Every structure is written in C-alpha cells, then in structure tokens.
A and B are shown apart, each in its own frame.
Chain A
Amino acid sequence: MPFRGQYQGSSFSELLELDHSHIRVDFADLAQKAHDAIVEAPHGTTVLALRLEAGVLVAGDRLATAGYQVASREVEKVFAADEHSLIAIAGAAGPAIEMARLLGIELEHYEKIEGEALELDGKANKLSQMIRQNLPAAMQGLAVVPLFAGYDTRRKQGRLWKFDITGGRYEEAEFDASGSGGLFAKESLKKSYTPGLERADGLRAALEALRAAADEDRATGGVDLERGIYPIVKVCTAEGIEDVPESEIADVHRAIVESSRRG
C-alpha cells in the first residue's frame, strides 16, 4: 500500500513520530551520543519582537557562532511560520531551524487537514509544546528559545510571546528579545519603545536595539558594511507578512549612525 501509517489526527509532528520516525531527528539522542561535538555546534544570538500599531515587527542579527568562532555571517533567524505569524529563533542553530521549519509545516498541515487555520493562541501553544519536547536536548546543550509573534485576525492586533526552555509561554504586551545579546536589546527597547508605534519608528527602535546588542555582545553580529550584510526584519499586519527591504534597513542604519555621531 502506498499510504502506510496509522495516524489519523491533524498534527504533523505526531504523524512523523508515529508513522515516520525514521526521518524524524531526535536531538536529545544526538546530544547524548556526541556531547563534545554539540558544545561546538553553531548558536544563533540576538532576535527581538515588538508590537506596532498595525501589527508586529520581528528582527534578528545574522551571526551564528560556534564556541569562539564565526559559524556563519549570513544566517537567517526570522521565519514566516504562515501568512500571519513569525518565529524568531535563538539558541542552538540546528534544532532551532528545524523547529521553525516544523512549526511552519505543522500549521499548514493542520489547516489543510482541518479546513481552517489555528488561532494565533493555538499556534503559540503548539510551539510551546515543541520547545517542551526539546527539553532533554536543551539539558545537553541544545537549548532553543524562540520568540513567536503574529497578527491576531480575530482580535485585530499584533501579539507576541516569549518562551523558556521548559516550554513556558509568556505573552508580552510591548516587546521582548532573546539570545545572548537579548538583554542589551531589551535595555535599548525599554528606552525607545512607546505604545502604538508606527512602522518607521518601530524599525528604528529595532535596529537601535540590535546595534546595542552587537556593541555589547561579541556573539551578536552588527551591520557588516564591508560585506553588505544587514539584519533581517519582517513586519506582520492584517495584510500579511512583509520583508523589510535591505535598502530601507541600510537607510535607517545610516541615520542612526549619523545621529549618534552628532550626539
């Protein structure tokens, strides 16, 4: 029979676990078997999310580090999970990217099987379960601590959540940041954030925060003018998700540098 499998539900990760366990990655098992290698596995650093008047803005730097070395200068940490939600990953890059990919498939799979999409709360809850399942791997050094943000089409507003490694899920009303430089990004946002931010002001606040994080945290990548590498910024509103163009990010970055020189 071409359609093997017993699973009858609407969750993709359960389907993998039950009927296709051979293609599922067990990071906890991997970590246990190769613990020394895991410590040197690439880690992603700073991501942040903030609420705008019209939705949410999510941004992340581009650096991945392995121990004291650069693993990648152009890694992407902000992903569209579906048409109205974003996930930003920090922590062990391998499991984090896998988790973001699985979440995207999970949401699409549910929507196709059930005929309607999950509520934004449901999506955040699903992610929290995935983080909880990763706890054994987290204890071995492969922690994944993402941010989740999106536009709630029912409440007609942007919302965002942070998580801890046990899958604890906390909704934030204004902003949050995660990763090794997250603390510095949050300090910066605390000063610049006001409720009801417009897109342009939100973009500036986000880039200032990433700049502050890159300044204080050696594992966070700043704007790399030599190679032309800029942070990734995505905005999610009622209309869907927009990738903020690099030219716009470059302009705002220039303005920030200018004003800090003058000051």
Chain B
Amino acid sequence: MSMPFYVSPEQLMADKAEYARKGIARGKSIVTMEYADGILLMAENPSASLSKLGEIYDRIAFAGVGKFSEFDQLRKVGVRYADVKGYAYSRDDVRGRALANAYSQAIGDVFTNQMKPLEVEIVVAEVGDPRFEGHEENSLYRVQFDGSIGDHQGYCVIGGSAENLEAHLRAHYAEDQPLGEAVRLGRNTLERGTNGDPVPPKNLEVAILDRSRSGRKFRRLSADELAGILEG
C-alpha cells in the first residue's frame, strides 16, 4: 500500500506562490499612472489583437499580465459583473473598489482551493471627477496572484520587473502631468524592463480613462496618435 506524501501547508503555499511568480515574470510589464485629465494605461504588447488592457465600465479599466487566457477570462467576468450591476442599480453604482474586492476574492479563492494558482496580476483603475460628489478621487487597485490587494497613489506597475520599473517612476513621476509627458514617461519606464532597448510604438498598447469624455471614459490611443505624442 502506498502512503500519500505529506506536504506541510507552508510548503504547499510557498510552492504555489513560486509557480505563479515564475509564470508572471515571463511576461512583459504594464504601467498605469494618473495624469492631469485621468489615468493612463500602457502595456508592452507586440500583438495588436490580444489585448492586455480593457474597458470594464464607464469609469473603470482593466489591465492584466501573466497568462493571457486567465487574465482575459477575469476581464470578461469583470465586464459581466459591472454590466449586471449597472443594469440592476444605476451606472454610478458600479465602483472600482467593489470590483477589485471581487477580483481579490475570486483570485484568492483559486489560490487556496485549486491545485494550480492563477498566473496573473491585475490592475483595476477608476477615474474620478472632482465635480462629481463621492467620486472625486482616482483609484488604482492592484490584485496579485494570491488575491492580495493594495491601492496605489499616482502610479502602479505590474508584471515581471515591476519593482525595477516602479523605482524609475518613483524618481520621475510628477502629479498632474499632461498626457504627452505621461506617455513619454510610461515608455521610458517600460524600456527599463527591456534593459534599455527601445520599445517601438507599434509594440505599445495604450489606453486612457479620459475624465473629459462624457459617459464611457475609456479610449484606446491609435498608432498614429501615439506616434504623434511620442515624437512631440
């Protein structure tokens, strides 16, 4: 008769975390930061069709790194969650914090109860508006592979070389930058992850939550628009 191997809970969790970290570290990073008119999301992404950034709701965007199929599934459940909530209550009742908490629970649940943890790390970004009572502040929530959640001021980086990139932002980030400066800083930051190799504009996926738009604030920057900004 064979005996099942005993693995201590500490060891089990450490192994899972190690596995998830390795998966995430293989992917490229994403930079999100506040700028004068909203929130900028920037990903290094050679694929034009497999998006890492997505629209969730009027003022909420999603960014994910790691295994595409896993974070894209999370993006879709987020859209479903938000649309159902907005239908049942009102559009203003769909908030980033509730969504980030739901993600945290779902991802944490997989981490503790399933064999394989999700190899993902995500950001839920919500743009605020000072003219809109109760919704004044921008929010950036980061949810990690084990479900741990944190909110970030100013900027937030996810992906393999997040710490290195965040150090660069810490030194160069300023509040209320215009969009052009934020985009250029974003690219310089992403180049830290490629050991200084330039990242061509066609390998950048860029989206903004633009406070000045009415209704749906999420907008992707086209390749031409991006090239114009980066040259300017």
- Using an 8 Å CB-CB cutoff, how does the interface string of B179-209 with A read, 1 for contact, 0 for none? 0000000000000000000000000000000
Are A3 and B106 in contact, with the CB atoms below 8 A? yes
Q: 10 tightest CB-CB pairs across the interface, nearest first? A: A2-B102, A3-B77, A112-B79, A23-B88, A2-B105, A109-B83, A112-B55, A3-B106, A20-B84, A113-B76
Instruction: Write out the residue numbers on chain A whose beta carbons fall within 8 Å of the beta carbon of B77.
Output: 3, 5
- Taking the complex as formed, is B54 at the interface, i.e. its CB lies under 8 A from any CB of chain A? yes
Q: Give chain A nearest CB distance to B85 CB in angstroms.
A: 10
- Using an 8 Å CB-CB cutoff, how does the interface string of B69-106 with A read, 1 for contact, 0 for none? 00000001101110110111000000000000111011
Number of A-B contacts (CB under 8 A): 49
Instruction: Write out the residue numbers on chain B whose beta carbons fall within 8 Å of the beta carbon of A105.
Output: 83, 86-87
Given contacts A3-B77, A109-B79, contact A15 B106 (CB under 8 A): no
Instruction: Enumerate A93-127 residues with CB–CB distance to B below 8 Å.
Output: 105, 108-109, 112-113, 115
Q: 15 new A-B pairs (CB below 8 Å) besides A105-B86, A109-B79? A: A1-B106, A1-B109, A2-B81, A2-B101, A2-B102, A3-B80, A3-B81, A3-B106, A5-B80, A7-B80, A16-B84, A20-B88, A112-B54, A112-B79, A113-B76
Most chain A C-beta atoms within 10 Å of own C-beta, residue among B49, B83, B88: B83
Picked from B76, B86, B105, the residue with its CB within 8 Å of the CB of A1 is B105
| Residue of A with least CB distance to B55 | A112
**Which bucket holds chain A's interface residue count?**
10 to 19
Instruction: Write out the residue numbers on chain B whose beta carbons fall within 8 Å of the beta carbon of A1.
Output: 105-106, 109
Q: Give chain B nearest CB distance to A166 CB in angstroms.
A: 26
- Using an 8 Å CB-CB cutoff, how does the interface string of B39-79 with A read, 1 for contact, 0 for none? 00000000001010011100000000000000000001101
Instruction: Write out the residue numbers on chain B whose beta carbons fall within 8 Å of the beta carbon of A19.
Output: 84
Picked from A2, A109, A113, the residue with its CB within 8 Å of the CB of B106 is A2
How far apart sit A20 and B102, CA to CA, in the bound complex (Å)? 17
Instruction: Write out the residue numbers on chain A whose beta carbons fall within 8 Å of the beta carbon of B105.
Output: 1-2
How far apart sit A113 and B106, CA to CA, in the bound complex (Å)? 19
Instruction: Write out the residue numbers on chain B whose beta carbons fall within 8 Å of the beta carbon of A16.
Output: 84, 87
